[in-house]
């Protein structure tokens, strides 16, 4: 007997075209696809995810006339995001109306857009419109910052004494931990936040986190936002969906296979961080003096003024051949879950933070910008599974923190706490766990058109 094809309702996803934002939204797409929805990914012309075998059932659309790679180079990241939102609004509207006109009795259940792609909201007012945020605490910070008096806040931020004070209401975050330096001047950042924190129009907020990690920030959001908040992460555990925009060098996994258990420090600063040559050299000599094996991801273009690793001295390169390995881009999840990895030196992007905690790996936190400082502060003083490197980087501090993490008792304690968190996170995405129930609630509300 011929089986009747059941039409799936469609969900439109609008990711920010950057690795750290593409990764969780594609995982969310995978989770929702498993729940019976059909997924349409609407992308800009810059940094597109390709339709790999992992997403063979997804439909990909490109917004015509959106910005490109050279626009990003010419404008810089923050003006790029502001302009992207201006130029995409009309074409996204057109794109949605075409989707609606398509034949078929399946309909669009909702548009889920990254909070920085806020152009989506005005274009899709007629649909239910959840937005996605990454961490709850960073979302709280952006909400708070979107309402500060910009003038007096600017004065506070310039005062060195204020920097170490706890920001009222955001304990343990200090002024210097706030996400205020994201590739541009503070005024533009505050503007982006007030545009992005569109809590009055999004009909729900999805957070890639779990209540065992950020309960007080989630409670804040649930209290302050007038819409449902769904903490349904970590999405990389709930629904793995490889979506690397850069080619992964898998040879490092073979190298890890030859190392002793928990001995290797994995170092990666994510997809955007830019480091100074001086800091790279201090890191290199600190690693050298620590006597620990290391796997170092040096992304081409991630060191100011260098193509790749050419600034590393010959003597250090000799050491690399003895007890180190350098790649341009690694399969990070596979690396973190490898038994040889005992610690992670990270810039503390939210995905890297979740991935590390999710594998029970303690961290050396060296944040650069945006919400990375928020995450680093939480790793060190709330979850206590990381040690933060603050101030000028020098080889002595690098050496001692690598030893603290990989050799000392302190590192073993951090590892125990990280493993404890890993277990809690795994439990939260299992059937009946808080994140799994939150995903169920979200799906049910879509089915019942309950927004
Ligand atoms: N990543 C990777 N290979 C690498 C470095 C990073 O696959 O060599 C992935 C990592 O697993 C994470 C993402 O890139 O999912 C980076 O996101 P994150 O939020 O940590 O930082 P961002 O790139 O946004 O600064």
Mean pLDDT of 94-110: 78
Instruction: Give the Cα separation of 425 and 313 in Å (integer).
Output: 41
The candidate with the shortest Cα–Cα distance to 19, out of 44, 47, 45, is: 47
Distance (Å, whole) CA 68 – CA 77: 12
Residues 6 or more apart in contact with residue 23 via CB below 8 angstroms? 236, 243, 351
**Residue 223, C-beta contacts closer than 8 angstroms, at least 6 positions apart:** none
pLDDT score of 12 more than 50: yes
CB 222 within 8 A of CB 256: no
pLDDT band with cut points at 50, 70 and 90 for residue 331: very high
CB atoms within 10 A of CB 329: 19
State which ligand 1 atom lies nearest to the alpha carbon of 329: 8
Angstrom distance (rounded) from CA 207 to CA 205: 6
ipTM of this complex prediction, to 2 decimal places? 0.99
CA of 352 relative to ligand 1 center, distance in Å: 6
* Residue of higher predicted confidence among 197 and 263: 263
- Cβ neighbours around 39 below 10 Å, total: 21
pLDDT band at 97 (very low <50, low <70, confident <90, very high): confident
Residue 312 contacts by C-beta under 8 Å, 6 or more apart in sequence?
Answer: 280, 281, 284, 320
What average pLDDT is seen over the chain?
Answer: 91
pLDDT value, residue 27? 96
DSSP β-bridge partners for residue 206? 132, 230
Angle at 131 between CA 184 and CA 185, to 5 degrees: 10
Taking the centre of ligand 1 as the mean of its atom positions, its distance from the CA of residue 424, in whole angstroms, is 23
Q: What would the mean pLDDT of 122-131 be, rounded to a whole number? A: 73
Secondary-structure percent of the chain, ordered helix, strand, coil, rounded to 5: 45, 15, 40
Query: How far is residue 263's CA from residue 402's CA, in Å, rounded to a whole number?
Result: 11
User: CA 433, 435, 439 angle in degrees (round to 5)?
Assistant: 115
CA angle 401, 403, 404 (to 5 degrees): 60
Number of the ligand 1 atom closest to the C-alpha atom of 297: 8
Residue nearest to atom 5 of ligand 1 (CA): 270
Instruction: Report the distance separating Cα 143 and Cα 137, nearest Å.
Output: 10
Pocket test residue of 18, 20, 370 for ligand 1, highest count of atoms within 8 A of CB: 20
State the alpha helices, DSSP H only, in 129-265.
136-145, 150-158, 160-163, 186-196, 211-224, 235-238, 251-257
CA distance 423 to 358: 8
Ligand 1 pocket check: which of 251, 352, 353, 358 to mutate, most ligand atoms within 8 Å of Cβ?
A: 352
Best CA proximity match to 212, nearest among 445, 411, 442, 434: 434
β-strand partners of 230: 206
The predicted pLDDT at position 432 comes to 97
User: 327 CA distance to ligand 1 centroid (A)?
Assistant: 14
pLDDT value at position 3? 47
Distance 20 CA to ligand 1 centre (A): 6
CA separation for the pair 391, 163 (Å, rounded) = 12
pLDDT at 325 over 60: yes
Tokens standing for 177? 């931990």
Q: Which atom of ligand 1 is found nearest the CA of 348? A: 20
Locate all alpha helices (DSSP H) within 55-201, ordered by sequence.
69-75, 77-101, 119-123, 136-145, 150-158, 160-163, 186-196
Q: Choose among 354, 380, 113, 375: nearest CA to 233.
A: 354
Shortest-distance atom of ligand 1 to CA 270: 23
DSSP annotation of 167 reads: P
Nearest-atom index, ligand 1, CA of 355:
11
* pLDDT (0 to 100) of residue 104: 55
Structure-block tokens of residue 329: 């881009």
Q: Is the pLDDT assigned to residue 378 strictly greater than 50?
A: yes
Dihedral of CA 209/220/419/350: which sign? positive
Please report the beta strands in 360-438, taking only residues with DSSP state E, as ranges in sequence order. Answer: 363-365, 386-388
CA distance 159 to 432: 48
Residue 384 has pLDDT above 50, yes or no: yes
Question: Which residue in the block uniquely carries the two structure tokens 């204020």?
Answer: 162
If you measure from the C-alpha of residue 28 to the centroid of ligand 1, how many angstroms do you get, rounded to a whole number? 16
Atom of ligand 1 nearest to the CA of 330: 8
Q: What is the reported pLDDT for 286?
A: 97
- Rg (C-alpha) for the chain, rounded Å, is 22
Tell me which of 4 and 446 has the higher pLDDT. Answer: 446
pLDDT band at 72; cut points 50, 70, 90? confident
The CA 154 to ligand 1 mean position distance, Å, reads 31
Of all residues in the chain, the percent with pLDDT exceeding 70 is: 95
Does residue 322 register a pLDDT over 90? yes
Backbone angles phi, psi at 111, to 5 degrees: -110, 125
Cβ neighbours around 161 below 10 Å, total: 8
Give the integer Cα–Cα distance in Å for 295 and 304. 21
Pick the residue whose CA is nearest to atom 14 on ligand 1.
270
Does ligand 1 come within 6 angstroms of the Cβ of 270? yes
Distance CA 360, CA 406 (A): 13
- pLDDT at residue number 218: 97
Tokens of 283: 């890191």
Q: For residue range 197-251, list pLDDT tens digits in order.
A: 755 578 899 999 999 999 999 999 999 988 899 999 999 999 988 888 899 999 9
Report the pLDDT averaged over residues 191-195: 82
Contacts of 158 (CB under 8 A, 6+ apart): none
């Amino acid at each position: 007997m011929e089986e009747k094809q059941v039409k799936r309702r469609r969900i439109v996803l609008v990711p920010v075209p950057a690795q750290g934002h593409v990764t969780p939204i594609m995982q969310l797409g995978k989770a929702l696809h498993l729940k019976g929805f059909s997924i349409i990914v609407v992308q800009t012309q810059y940094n597109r995810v390709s339709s790999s075998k992992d997403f063979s059932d997804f439909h990909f659309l490109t917004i015509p006339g959106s910005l490109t790679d050279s626009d990003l180079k010419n404008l810089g990241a923050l003006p790029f995001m502001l302009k992207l939102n201006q130029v995409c609004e009309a074409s996204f509207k057109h794109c949605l109306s075409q989707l609606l006109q398509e034949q078929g009795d399946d309909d669009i259940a909702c548009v889920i857009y990254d909070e920085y792609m806020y152009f989506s909201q005005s274009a899709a007012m007629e649909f239910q419109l959840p937005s996605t945020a990454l961490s709850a605490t960073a979302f709280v910070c952006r909400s708070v910052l979107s309402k500060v008096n910009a003038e007096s806040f600017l004065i506070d931020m310039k005062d060195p004494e204020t920097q170490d004070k706890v920001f009222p209401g955001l304990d343990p975050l200090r002024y210097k931990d706030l996400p205020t330096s994201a590739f541009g001047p503070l005024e533009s950042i505050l503007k982006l936040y007030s545009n992005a924190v569109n809590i009055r129009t999004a009909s729900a907020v999805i957070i890639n986190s779990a209540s065992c990690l950020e309960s007080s920030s989630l409670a804040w959001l649930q209290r302050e936002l007038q819409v449902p908040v769904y903490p349904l992460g970590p999405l990389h555990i709930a629904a793995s969906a490889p979506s690397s925009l850069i080619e992964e060098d898998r040879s490092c996994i073979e190298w890890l296979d030859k190392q002793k258990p928990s001995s290797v420090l994995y170092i990666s600063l994510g997809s955007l961080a830019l480091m100074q040559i001086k800091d790279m050299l201090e890191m290199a000599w600190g690693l050298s003096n620590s006597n620990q094996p290391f796997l170092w991801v040096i992304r081409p273009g991630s060191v100011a003024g260098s193509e790749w690793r050419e600034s590393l001295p010959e003597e250090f390169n000799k050491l690399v051949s003895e007890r180190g390995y350098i790649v341009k881009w690694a399969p990070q999840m596979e690396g973190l879950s490898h038994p040889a990895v005992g610690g992670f030196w990270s810039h503390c992007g939210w995905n890297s933070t979740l991935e590390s905690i999710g594998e029970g790996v303690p961290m050396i936190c060296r944040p650069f910008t945006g919400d990375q400082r928020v995450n680093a502060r939480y790793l060190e003083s709330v979850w206590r599974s990381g040690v933060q490197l603050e101030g000028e980087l020098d080889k002595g501090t690098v050496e001692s923190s690598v030893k603290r993490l990989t050799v000392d008792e302190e590192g073993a304690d951090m590892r125990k706490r990280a493993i404890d968190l890993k277990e809690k996170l795994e439990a939260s995405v299992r059937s009946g766990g808080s994140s799994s129930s939150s995903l169920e609630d979200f799906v049910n509300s879509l089915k019942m058109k309950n927004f």
